[in-house]
Amino acid sequence: MALYAQTGLVLGIESSCDETAAAVVRGGGEMLSNVIASQVALHAAYGGVVPELASREHLRNIVPVVQAAMNQAGVRLSELDAVAVTEGPGLAGALLVGIVYAKTLAFGLGKPLVAVNHLEGHIHAVLMEARRKGDMPAEFPLLALVVSGGHTHLYLAEAGTGGAEIWRYRNVGRTVDDAAGEAYDKVAKLLGLGYPGGPWIDELARYGDAGAVKFQFNPIKPRPDASAESTRFDFSFSGIKTAVLRYVQTHGMGDANERRRALLAQSPELKSPQVATLTDERTLNLIASFQGAVVGNLLRQTFAAAEAFGVRGVLVSGGVAANRELRARFTAEAARRGLPVAFPGPALSTDNAAMIAAAAWPKLLAGEFADDAMVAAPQLRLG
Ligand code: KG4
Ligand code: ZN
């Protein structure tokens, strides 16, 4: 353990969705490089990720991205202690590019390969900083909310036996339909805003009145595969997306949305303050109300679960964790309850490979390596 803590250089590779990413992390905490080739511009024209295009871009990007990560870290391939790669969940063809590359590299170098669950990666994005400072959470259980474009999950995390850093997870809540980030993206698309929609709504919500439109979340029917008890902390975001659509239709906002879409297509350099001045009050209020309702729902479910399971702290990660209102409200609510809450830095909230290298760290220490038979696991679950 001591040997790795001084050296412990892991190259992380992530290609589960629309970012080709590579990073070198030392000791699971010290980020030496974190390179991301984003495909956002490519997929923006379609308002969402096109799987075939994503795979092709990963193929194009993987070699230069890994090279850039090694160069920026100032590390030679021969100095690595392991190669870590996202095994799943994600798009099959996208995952495959990272996995084949990582396997080949590890084999060629004679280094161990570590397979990482993308969702656990998001949790380790929060833990990197703690590990670097030497203040990893010591009290369990913890509750982790992973909230992104593809996922909305609540995990109860316990330390492994003997306080080991390999944690055990129990999935105590998840979305039964859309992920929260997906709702952000779809509502933004409806309103003629850019892709991804989360950052646009985050910015524009500041200009509206969150109390203007009342959205309500109806009770969620228990999943067919689970008891009512075990689905108490589930989420549903497709209803609010439909409610926004209905509001737009009944208030005749369609034409203004199309004009906004055309304007942004014509002038992609426009930033949110300019867009805000060109946007009517009703739309700004709708945006603020949508965000207020989504964040409020995430907050209520998370803290209800935190209370039910008597957790000792809350971790929030994934793309939507970059949201400023979410951070402010979670921080205030946690303080009110005297509960520690932690987020990754905004840049590590969205997909990156540093979190994959960090999540590989405890596995490397425990000698938990992937074998040659490892394949992409698009539906991989955590807990
Ligand atoms: O974690 P991530 O990069 O990819 C997935 O694993 O899904 O998350 C991307 C999602 C997108 O839906 C994007 O709209 C959302 O995170 N997002 C945000 C913000 N930044 C990104 N949502 C709300 N507020 C933000 N500031
Ligand atoms: Zn993600």
User: What is the bridge-based pairing of β-strands 168-174 and 142-147?
Assistant: unpaired
Residue 165's pLDDT is what? 81
Among protein residues, the one with the nearest Cα to ligand 1's atom 13 is 198
Among protein residues, the one with the nearest Cα to ligand 1's atom 23 is 198
Residue 240's pLDDT is what? 97
Rounded distance from Cα 147 to ligand 2 centre (Å): 8
Atom of ligand 1 nearest to the CA of 350: 3
Atom of ligand 1 nearest to the CA of 150: 7
pTM for this predicted structure: 0.95
User: Any idea which residue has 């926004």 for tokens?
Assistant: 244
The ligand placed nearest to the CA atom of residue 319 is 1
**For ligand 2, a single-atom ion, which residues have Cβ within 5 Å?**
148, 351
Q: Is the dihedral of CA 201, 197, 245, 251 positive or negative?
A: positive
Residues 6+ apart with CB under 8 A from 380: 87, 88, 89, 117, 118, 119
Residue 244's pLDDT is what? 98
Atom of ligand 1 nearest to the CA of 322: 26
Rounded distance from Cα 3 to ligand 2 centre (Å): 31
CB atoms within 10 A of CB 112: 19
Rounded distance from Cα 181 to ligand 1 centre (Å): 5
User: What is the bridge-based pairing of β-strands 314-317 and 19-26?
Assistant: unpaired
Protein residues whose CB sits closer than 6 Å to any atom of ligand 1: 17, 148-150, 181, 184-185, 196-199, 202, 318-320, 322-323, 350-351
User: Any idea which residue has 């497709």 for tokens?
Assistant: 238
Atom of ligand 1 nearest to the CA of 182: 12
Atom of ligand 1 nearest to the CA of 179: 12
Mean pLDDT by 10 residues, the chain (383 residues): 66 95 96 93 81 91 97 97 98 97 97 98 96 90 97 95 82 96 97 95 98 91 76 94 98 97 94 96 98 98 97 97 98 98 93 97 94 95 95
Residue 1's pLDDT is what? 46
Residue 317's pLDDT is what? 97
Residue 6's pLDDT is what? 55
Rounded distance from Cα 132 to ligand 2 centre (Å): 22
Among protein residues, the one with the nearest Cα to ligand 1's atom 14 is 198
Residue 219's pLDDT is what? 81
Rounded distance from Cα 149 to ligand 1 centre (Å): 5
Residues 6+ apart with CB under 8 A from 186: 178, 197, 241
Nearest to 359 by CA among 118, 38, 16: 118
Residue 163's pLDDT is what? 60
Among protein residues, the one with the nearest Cα to ligand 1's atom 11 is 149
